[in-house]
Amino acid sequence: EDQVTQSPEALRLQEGESSSLNCSYTVSGLRGLFWYRQDPGKGPEFLFTLYSAGEEKEKERLKATLTKKESFLHITAPKPEDSATYLCAGGYGGSQGNLIFGKGTKLSVKP
């Protein structure tokens, strides 16, 4: 069974303290790795899609990378408004509509 595992479950940072979130996935058959941000009571907001090992994408203070067995979401000099739950999801095989989500990392950034 395909699986996506995120760590840590929760992360507390001071404003400006850079860190990384990890997403490990079942390697066989992965055809896309997706990162989302979710604020309380809201739907997930799309951040990045990665398709190939070695691929990197950046947006403001966030940078997503993909290796052959895991993905990282690097947060550089975070601000309190970056506080949210970050979700990663794997897309497998020919299943276009079915993303397998990890449980998420809840990030808190204190001023």
Q: Which residues bind other proteins (CB under 8 A)?
A: 31-32, 34, 36, 41-46, 49, 87, 89, 91-104
CB nearer to other proteins: give 14 or 96.
Answer: 96
Burial of residue 111 (number of CB atoms within 10 Å: 0-12, 13-18, 19+): exposed
Residue 37 Cβ vs other proteins, minimum distance, rounded to whole Å: 11
CB nearer to other proteins: give 1 or 81.
Answer: 1
As given in the structure block, the two tokens for residue 98 are: 């079915």
CB nearer to other proteins: give 43 or 111.
Answer: 43
Residue 101 Cβ vs other proteins, minimum distance, rounded to whole Å: 4
Residue 68 Cβ vs other proteins, minimum distance, rounded to whole Å: 17
Measured on CA atoms in the order 50, 26, 2, 19, is the torsion positive or negative?
negative
Which distant-in-sequence residues (6+ apart) come within 8 Å of 60 by Cβ? none
Residue 16 Cβ vs other proteins, minimum distance, rounded to whole Å: 30
CB nearer to other proteins: give 1 or 14.
Answer: 1
φ and ψ at residue 82, rounded to 5 degrees: -80, -5
User: Minimal CA–CA distance to 21: which of 60, 58, 75, 67?
Assistant: 75
